[in-house]
Structure 1
């Protein structure tokens, strides 16, 4: 199997402190003010990507999805703990491009996946989907690079949009087969231990 594992080229953005993030409106309607506040040109590629992020965050969740856009670390942790229904035994896991071991299932319970998205400051699109199993899978590249990659297998896709890119790529219909995919580096998976 050939899969391209690329390191995410992160810029110098970081989470804002929670009180600062809460003080900045996070909406499409307020985007012009946010662009001005961070000295971002309105017609720039970054402004376009920020608008896409806001649209993704403001779009309705799928039927089997719970979602939240985290603009601070506290916001991410609060959402993960709330969605998992516990504040005990919650752990975070990420893809690491330095080691490789044996494939293992790490969760067949609910998980919260937080994917980095483009914004003026560090922001994550966090969501959980029902009927998802999480694995850690070892990969070795042609150049010898080793990685432990987090992968998710969605076992019930019956409520997904039939136009979802996964169905097009695999030439299948919703609810017929599990949809599995690797998670990019910097994606954070929250689960109960």
Structure 2
């Protein structure tokens, strides 16, 4: 990971956000919309964290490319420079091979968990340590894993649906998008924005219904259209973050209902955008973990029950020594991803 300091010109985004905030006052806030549609469903941390604060009285806005996201944040004081962080987000895992940490999260080269579904041979050669995979049968009490549930560096916040819908989100509107957020064409920020939009425009894999939610309201609508409104929504949470240590699976592991789910992965963008995909070939678990230092974690594990369409050279098959379509393949989700399942 590394940090790059940059200066941005902010007048355009300041004017835009000021107008957007005024026009969205009459609508329900994203949190109010959640409570209206899902009154009996607790909001997980991965949804609470990106909720945008009330910044009607704030005086400045900063735009930054975060580690795992481009952030639009508001802060008091005079407009000034912004920190631009470029790197990986998610959780780091150590498999014990040569002592190297294995990355669990969204690799910025590929956007979402693309390598879990159709990783190419080149991708595997680029980074052989991109994720920790394990078999569903190995998810039992006393099983140990070396994990690092790093705090998510992706601080991009939700915009209201009304505001998000007023902003273009399309590859053929890139110049307008760059101008809207004072991003220079050809810059690292511009490349991140372009890649995220292209990921969202790509067709889903076989058996997958995909949708990029540009607001919390649209995520709610997509997920409930697939699963109904009687749902459970969960995310990974860990007490001790940013420390690699040995975790032991405890007796509190729970399988969530059914094989139908919606998984939403937070993307790299100027505001909170989640890549959501619905399948009927996954099983989700809430795994209770106890750290060697006494801390606890509740980690979401997703097990893919049908891997027959995956690349035969997929990293999972190399790590687990299994063949496509033979056994469920599981992995943990980072803390800023969300799983929806029917109750």
1:124 equivalent in alignment to 2:268: no
Q: Which moved more, 1:43-52 or 1:128-137?
A: 43-52
- Structure 1 unaligned spans of 5+: none
4+ long deviations beyond 4 Å: none
Residues 101 and 148, structure 1, Cα contact 8 Å, conserved in 2: no
Q: Which moved more, 1:182-191 or 1:102-111?
A: 102-111
Instruction: Indicate the residue corresponding to 1:90 in structure 2.
Output: 231
Instruction: Indicate the residue corresponding to 2:169 in structure 1.
Output: 26
1:175 equivalent in alignment to 2:325: yes
1:16-165 paired onto structure 2 within 5 Å: 16-84=159-227, 86-87=228-229, 89-98=230-239, 102-162=252-312, 164-165=314-315
- Which protein has the larger Cα radius of gyration, Structure 1 or Structure 2? 2
- Structure 2 unaligned spans of 5+: 1-144, 241-249
Residues 61-96 of structure 1, C-alpha deviations (whole Å, 9 max, x = no match): 011111100001111001001122x23x12311111
RMSD: 2.1
Secondary structure (helix, strand or coil) at the match of 1:147 reads: strand
TM-score normalised according to structure 1 size:
0.88
**Could you say if the C-alpha distance between residues 50 and 192 of structure 1 is closer, same or farther in structure 2, counting changes exceeding 3 Å?**
same
- 2-structure distance, mates of 1:56, 1:164: 19
Residues 258 and 342, structure 2, Cα contact 8 Å, conserved in 1: no
- 2-structure distance, mates of 1:52, 1:28: 9
Residues 154 and 268, structure 2, Cα contact 8 Å, conserved in 1: no
TM-score normalised according to structure 2 size:
0.52
Residues 96 and 148, structure 1, Cα contact 8 Å, conserved in 2: yes
Residues 130 and 156, structure 1, Cα contact 8 Å, conserved in 2: no
